[in-house]
């Protein structure tokens, strides 16, 4: 017999008061709706879990395809008396970047919940831990509210990190190293765009869920889901503001870069203007033609050098008087 861990990441029978107990493969196969609310979490990296979803889950082909799908955008699908919803969460796995969001697929029935994912999702672990400590969800609606809230909490943390990074860049935009700041802004804009890409359809999916008529989600639970949708809307607004702030910071950084270039070019132009007449003098006296003054005078070089020094000092004083340097 296949071990539970090889099919299900979690297999719990909820007791209706916030707790749950683990169930075996045999109990899952013998389970009936009269036994209570069953939650099965499938790790799709295990071939046996894929086989169970496809052959033994008892769902339609459409729902099987949703549960086994690869990376996909958040959306809501209603079929019969059940709901399938695809959500995205922040990737908190070691070595991962936040904008590489992890998807979780959820099939909801009145007395059964199936979730599937291909990568570790800490929100699922938190949900499992809350059930083991007796303070988890009691109903299907509370299960959905809990997982949405856990996902939203980590999304909020990622958004706050983006805002903090932008604030740090804005503080250093006039003094920091332009290369490092440009790299930081690129990271911020990429993360904000990637997270927003999935948050917008996730909010729309929750809005559709709130407006849908679902018998196993109460009106009170729908109101809580609406609040979670409002929370996602706030995160979207914060991301939009962060992107605008990043654009403003990038413009200021480019202006600073252009100003530094102009200052360097201006300095080079002043130096070139000072040395231009000196170059003319050296070129004039460097011609190999007869009749040049001073060629027979042993102090000719000294006189030429004094003339060039005097010209350079005079030009520097003139530029200073005109406030060009």
pLDDT in tens, 270-312: 778 777 887 877 776 776 666 667 666 677 777 778 888 888 8
> What is the predicted pLDDT for the residue at 1?
41
Place 91 in a pLDDT band, splitting at 50, 70 and 90: confident
Q: pLDDT over 90 for what percent of the chain?
A: 6
Q: What is the pLDDT of residues 217-260, one digit of tens each?
A: 888 888 888 888 888 889 888 888 888 887 777 777 777 777 77
Place 112 in a pLDDT band, splitting at 50, 70 and 90: very high
- 261/257 Cα distance (integer angstroms): 6
- 54/67 Cα distance (integer angstroms): 9
* pLDDT mean across residues, the chain: 82
CATH H-level superfamily of 259-321: Magnesium transport protein CorA, transmembrane region (1.20.58.340)
Place 315 in a pLDDT band, splitting at 50, 70 and 90: confident
CB 209 within 8 A of CB 75: no
The mean per-residue pLDDT over the stretch 75-94 comes to 83
Closest CA to 19 of 135, 105, 169: 135
Q: What is the pTM of this model?
A: 0.74
Where in the chain are the domains?
Answer: 4-256, 259-321
User: Does 99 have pLDDT greater than 80?
Assistant: no
The number of beta carbons lying within 10 Å of the beta carbon of residue 152 is 24
Place 78 in a pLDDT band, splitting at 50, 70 and 90: confident
User: Does 203 have pLDDT greater than 90?
Assistant: no
> What is the predicted pLDDT for the residue at 298?
75
Q: What is the pLDDT of residues 282-291, one digit of tens each?
A: 776 776 666 6
CATH fold group of domain 4-256: Beta Polymerase; domain 2 (3.30.460)
Length in residues, the chain: 325
User: 208-215 — which CB contacts under 8 Å span 24+ positions?
Assistant: 208/76, 209/76, 209/83, 209/85, 209/144, 212/76, 212/78, 212/83, 214/78, 214/83, 215/81, 215/110
């Amino acid at each position: 017999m296949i071990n539970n861990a090889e099919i299900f990441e979690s297999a719990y029978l909820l007791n209706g008061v916030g707790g749950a107990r683990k169930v075996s493969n045999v109990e899952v196969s013998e389970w009936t709706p009269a036994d209570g609310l069953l939650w099965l979490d499938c790790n799709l990296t295990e071939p046996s879990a894929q086989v169970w979803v496809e052959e033994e889950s008892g769902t339609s082909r459409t729902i099987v395809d949703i549960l086994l799908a690869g990376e996909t955008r958040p959306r809501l699908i209603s079929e019969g008396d059940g709901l399938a919803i695809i959500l995205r969460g922040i990737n908190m796995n070691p070595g991962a970047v936040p904008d590489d969001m992890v998807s979780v697929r959820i099939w909801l029935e009145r007395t059964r919940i199936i979730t599937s994912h291909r990568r570790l999702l800490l929100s699922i672990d938190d949900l499992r831990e809350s059930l083991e400590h007796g303070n988890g969800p009691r109903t299907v609606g509370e299960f959905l509210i809990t997982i949405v809230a856990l996902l939203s909490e980590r999304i909020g943390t990622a958004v706050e990190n983006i805002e903090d990074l932008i604030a740090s860049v804005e503080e250093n935009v006039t003094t920091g190293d332009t290369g490092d700041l440009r790299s930081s802004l690129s990271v911020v804009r990429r993360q904000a765009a990637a997270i927003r890409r999935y948050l917008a359809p996730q909010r729309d999916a929750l809005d559709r869920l709130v407006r849908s008529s679902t018998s196993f989600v109460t009106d009170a639970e729908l109101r809580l889901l609406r609040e979670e949708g409002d929370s996602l809307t706030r995160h979207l607004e914060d991301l939009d503001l962060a992107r605008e702030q990043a654009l403003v910071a990038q413009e200021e950084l480019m202006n600073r870069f252009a100003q530094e270039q102009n200052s360097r070019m201006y300095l080079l132009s002043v130096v070139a203007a000072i040395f231009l007449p000196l170059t003319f003098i050296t070129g004039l006296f460097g011609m190999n033609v007869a009749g040049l003054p001073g060629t027979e005078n042993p102090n000719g070089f000294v006189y030429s050098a004094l003339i060039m020094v005097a010209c350079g000092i005079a030009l520097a004083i003139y530029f200073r008087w005109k406030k060009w340097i």
